[in-house]
Structure formats: C-alpha cells, structure tokens
A = this chain, B = another copy of it.
Amino acid sequence: MAVQPVLLAGAWRSSDAADTFRAVNPATREPLPDVFPVSAWADLDAALSAASEAYAVMRQLPAEALAAFLEDYAGRIEAHAETLAETAHLETALPVPTRFVGGEIPRTVNQLQQAAAAARDGGWSLPTIDTGSGLRSKLGPLGVVCVLGPNNFPFAYNGIAGGDFASAIAAGNPVIAKAHPSHPKTTQLLAELCLEALKASALPDAAVQLVYHMSNDDGLKLMADPRNAALGYTGSRRAGLALKKACDGHGKLAYLEMSSVNPVVLLPGALAERGEAIVDEFVGSCLLGAGQFCTNPGLVIALNGQDTDSFIQGVVAKFESSPIGTLLNEAGEQTLTRGIQSLQDAGAELLTGGKPGAGTGCSVSNTLMRVDGATFLTNAQHLQAECFGNSSLVVVVDDAAQALAVLNTLEGQLTGSIYSSADGSDDGTYDALEPELRQRVGRLINDKMPTGVAVVAAQNHGGPYPATGHPGFTAVGFPGALRRFAALHCYDNVRPHRLPALLRDDNPTGTMRMIDQVWTADDVAAAATA
C-alpha cells in the first residue's frame, strides 16, 4: 500500500521513511486504511533547510501578507468543516456535531482569524519609541518554529492549524508541523487546505511544512539543530521534558504545555449552599470529552464533613449513571488504567470505576477515588500525578490548615478553582488559601470548573512549571500568544527609511505604541508635540 507523502518545501513528496504507521479508530480498535510515514532525518533536514530559506523571505513581509494568509486558510477550513469533522471522528471517536462542527472547528477558524487580526494590528509587538535617545524597539520574528500538537484537539491545537501554529505564523515565523500520529489523516486534510492558501498568498511555499511522525532521537535532533529557533508543544510531560532539555541545551525557546491536575477547592459554605449544583458542574466538567482535556478537574480538595460526603456520593451516582466516553486511543486507555492503579497503590481508595468500559471502543469506566489529607501529605508527589481521562481524586482534608498544606505540595498547574459561598462565610478560608493557590496556577477560577478555555486576550492557558515551560506566557488568547515566538529588536540611531513600518514616525495603522513612556496611537511628531 502506498505511503502517504509529506509536505516539504511547498510540495507533497514521498517521505524518506524510517518506518510507517496507521491510525486506529478508537471506537472499533480497527486500523484505518491510510499508511503514513515515520520520517527519517532526511525529511527533517530538508524541512529545516527549506524553512530557513522561507524565513529569509517571510521576515521581510508586511504583516498584511501574514494576516491575509491566515484568514484565507481559516476560510478554507470553514468551507470543509464537514469533511474534516468526519475524518477526525474516525481517528478520535469525538462526536462530529457537538465537538467538531459546533465547537472545535469554529474555534480553530476563530483562532486563525484572531491571530490574523493581531498580526495586522501589530500592537502585540509592543512598539516602543524613545525620541530623545533615538532608540526604537519592537518584538520581531524569531526564526523557524516547530509545532507538535497533542492527541486531544485534532484542530484547535493541531501543529498545522492550532493556536501555536497561528501564533508562530502571525509573528512572522515559518512552521514545521508534526502531526499527532493519532490523527494523521485529519492533519493531512488540513495541510492540503493550508498549501492551497499558501499558494494563493505572498508567503513562500515552505512557510508551512508537515511531517507525521519521527523517532524520539530525531525529535531531539530537530530541536537542537541550528536552523530551529523554537518549539511549540502540547502533550505529555515525559515527552515535553525531553524536548525541553534538548531545546534548553542549545539555547532554543521551548513553549510547552504539559500535565496539570487543575485542583478544585470546595469550601464548606459553597457545598452547604449549593452542593447538588456543584455535583452537576463537576460531573459535567470531569466527563466532558471523556475527561481528555488539559484543564480536566483531576483533583478535588474538600473539608471532611457531611456535605463533602454528600458531594462524593452524588458524584459516584452520576459517574455510574453517565455514559462512558470513548478514549482517543489504546495508549490513552493503558495510561489511564495504569494511572488509576498507581493512585490506589499510593493510598487512594477507589470509589467507582477503574475497570474497562463497556463495548468495543477504547474506554475506562468513569472513575472517582478518595484519599484523606494526611495520606495525601505523606505521598503528595505520587498522588498528584495526572490521570488523563474520565477520572478524578477527592482529597478530604481535616480543616483549612490541612487544605493549605495540601496546596503547598502541588506542582505548577494550568488552573485552580475555589468554590465559596455567596453569604461570605467562606471568605476567611478563601483569603487563607488563595495566595498559595495563586502562585501555583496560571488561571485562578472562582465558582466554576476549569474546562472551557475562552479564546480572549485576558486568557491564560499556561502556568508555572511543570504545567508549562515558562509561566510568563499563554498558549491561548491573542495578541499575547504571539509574543512567545518573537525576539526583541531594537534599532539605535537607525536611519528612518530603514526602520520597520511600526517604528517609523508616521503610524497609518493607528497601532498603540509607547512613545516617550506614553501609550498612544498617534504619529511620533504629533505625540512629541502634544
């Protein structure tokens, strides 16, 4: 059977394949028909060289060209939403209408459009002008960016269509995308649309390239290569840390989104006030998409008492009566099963679940575990390990002081939630816990579960290590996400006609710039006169 080609330097070429693979339909465990290559180094070497050449052109392009390409590509994805969704459904078992056509694909289109708007506006680059010293600076493009997407979002985080991709391109960088081997066909369809948009654009053909898979060693070699500048990665902690190490050792930037258990603290007043509603919110959040979200609530902290017992009983009942979702692949099924066993080995009590799900698909029954605070504290490292999927652990603590002690053991997280009562009875406890939680999470949430990541400027889909590799940046939300893939470019006494457009005296785009310490959309002359 023919091996699918890779997209290198603007053309679909047969891969220098070290091996091949097929995706598996997780609902049937049957392999899907197409055979995809595991690229050998020659593919990656070719991609790096072509990307470097593309960069030399791309970094000189006006932002309008970048924006127009992203918008055109977004339109093509929108026009092919049904086909894309059906293909992704076969590779992920995620539902076509509710997940893809009605959710993730519009989000992906919107992200590309927001990235285009950010590129066109230019304010993301923080243009800064000091008229007295003759210094002007802005963030500019960085170089070749490798983007490796995760298994759980075949569109919104795809290496060739997701947020990292859109950010890197909008900032003026070429992208070498790696498909997630769980959904190569979906990625191939996206790449075909992307190539059409590239050919219709002012961008060089090699501005976006695609490979499907590579050996771990070649992945590390790719990071370390002088032609690579940065990595955008979403996935497991283990692979992420290996890639980070390869980047760090060679001065490459690594923006990684790795594991998170997203602690949810349920204060007693909130449970007394609206316990049943919180059960519903938690179950909805934890089982959504079979729990396969980076922001899945994997750790609940609640104070010992009747309301907490009722919460747990309510969740157990709903977990047992709720449908069991299909997991993304057999590897995920195995990892989740092992993770649940590992938490039990570390002292957690299985309340429900922990068994193979019914039917032929990849699945694990909806799982809830419980552990007391003292036990958690004796083995906090193991008991906070992420179980990616429809599973959660409730830590029942003796009191607020023990809750604080538990928070103090937590590694960096994407999110942390606190539910508190409306009547103010939880406020003292909130004030005691919030500062410690704040330090450990990127997004601090009140009275809401962590799933659902709005693509807005104030979003932070990021957090302290090891949730990510740098706590200062978000992977979701424009214009901020662009700033990851950028270098600060200062111009000192540079003659006016040689300056980039955003740093010249006139400001026809009305971009916000800091001129002599004042943010303004004015021209330099007008600002200096004012």
Q: A443-B492, A488-B474, A493-B447 are in contact. Are A130 and B483 (CB under 8 A)?
A: no
Q: Mark A474-505, 1 if CB is under 8 A from B, else 0.
A: 10000010011011111111110010000000
Copies of this subunit:
2
Question: Do residues B135 and A456 form an inter-chain contact, with CB atoms below 8 A?
Answer: yes
Q: Are A133 and B456 in contact (CB under 8 A)?
A: yes
Q: Which residues on B sit within 8 Å (CB–CB) of A156? A: none
- Do A444 and B491 form a contact, CB below 8 Å, given A128-B480, A459-B135, A486-B472? yes
Residues of chain B lying within 8 A (CB to CB) of residue A495: 446
Q: Which of A484-530 contact B (CB under 8 A)?
A: 484, 486-495, 498, 512, 514, 517, 519
Chain B, residue nearest A254 (CB)? B248
Given that A133-B458, A136-B458 are contacting pairs, would A493 and B445 also be in contact in the complex, using a CB cutoff of 8 Å? yes
Name the B residues within 8 Å of A454 (CB-CB). Answer: 130, 133, 135
> Which residues, 59 to 103 on A, are CB-close (under 8 Å) to B?
59-60
Chain B neighbourhood of A244, CB < 8 A: 248
**Distance, CA A443 to CA B492, complexed state (A):** 7
In the assembled complex, which residues on chain B have CB atoms less than 8 Å from the CB atom of A253?
A: 470-472
In whole angstroms, what is the CA distance A512 to B518 when docked? Answer: 9
Q: How far is the CA of A133 from the CA of B459 in the complex (A)?
A: 9
Closest CB in chain B relative to A430 CB, distance in Å: 7
A460 and B444 form a contact (CB under 8 A) = no
Q: Does A325 contact B (CB under 8 A)?
A: no
Question: What CA separation (Å) do A329 and B519 show in the bound complex?
Answer: 45
CB neighbours of A133 from chain B (8 A): 454, 456, 458-459
A245 interface contact, C-beta 8 A: yes
- A471: B residues at CB distance < 8 A: 142, 253, 487-488
Looking across the interface, which residue of chain B has its beta carbon closest to that of A438?
B489
Q: Are B458 and A137 in contact (CB under 8 A)?
A: yes
A428 located at the interface, meaning its Cβ lies under 8 Å from any Cβ of chain B in the complex: no
Is there an interface contact between A492 and B130, defined as CB atoms closer than 8 Å? Answer: no
- Partner of A492 from the list B434, B445, B464 (CB cut-off 8 Å) is B445
Closest to A139 in B: B472
Chain B residues with Cβ under 8 A from A472's Cβ?
139, 253, 483-484, 486-488
> Are A444 and B494 neighbours in the complex by a CB distance under 8 Å?
yes
Given known contacts A245-B248, A457-B130, A498-B430, is B490 in contact with A443 (CB within 8 Å)? Answer: yes
Q: Is the CB of B412 within 8 A of A514?
A: no
> Known: A465-B251, A470-B253, A487-B472. Contact between A492 and B132, CB under 8 A?
no
A445 and B59 CA atoms in complex are apart in Å by: 19
A464 to B: closest C-beta gap in Å: 6
Q: Taking the nearest CB of chain B, how far is it from the CB of A145, in angstroms?
A: 13
The distance in angstroms between the C-alpha atoms of A171 and B452, with both chains bound, is 30
Known contacts A245-B248, A454-B135, A495-B446; is-contact A488 B469 (Cβ 8 Å): no
User: Please, which residue of chain B has its CB at the minimum distance from the CB of A434?
Assistant: B498
CB of A359 closer than 8 Å to a CB of B: no
A466 within 8 A of B: yes
- Quick check: is A123 within 8 A (CB to CB) of the other chain? yes
Roughly how many angstroms separate A129 CA and B460 CA in the complex, as a whole number? 12
Q: B458 touching A129 by the CB < 8 A rule? A: yes
A289 proximal to B (CB < 8 A): no
A457: which of B123, B248, B447, B514 is its contact (CB, 8 Å)?
B514
**Nearest neighbor of A447 in chain B, beta-carbon distance:** B493
Counting chain B CB atoms within 10 Å of each CB, the highest count among A59, A251, A438, A480 belongs to: A251
Q: Which B-chain residue is minimally distant from A226 (CB atoms)?
A: B411
Task: Tell me if A519 and B512 are in contact (CB < 8 A).
Answer: yes
Proximity string of chain A (106-118) to chain B, C-beta cutoff 8 Å, 1 when within and 0 when not: 0000000000000
User: Would you give the shortest CB distance from A493 to chain B, in whole angstroms?
Assistant: 5
Q: Does A473 contact B (CB under 8 A)?
A: yes
Question: Which A residues are closer than 8 A to B by beta carbons?
Answer: 56, 59-60, 123, 126, 128-130, 132-133, 135-137, 139-140, 142-143, 244-245, 248-253, 412, 415, 430, 434-435, 438-439, 442-448, 454, 456-460, 462, 464-466, 469-474, 480, 483-484, 486-495, 498, 512, 514, 517, 519
Cβ contacts A to B, 13 pairs, < 8 Å: A130-B454, A130-B458, A130-B459, A132-B456, A133-B454, A133-B456, A248-B248, A250-B465, A251-B466, A460-B488, A472-B487, A474-B488, A480-B488
What 9 additional pairs, Cβ within 8 angstroms, besides A128-B480, A443-B490?
A: A56-B435, A130-B454, A135-B456, A136-B458, A250-B465, A251-B464, A253-B471, A443-B492, A472-B487
Q: 6 tightest CB-CB pairs across the interface, nearest first?
A: A251-B465, A460-B490, A471-B487, A248-B248, A135-B458, A443-B490
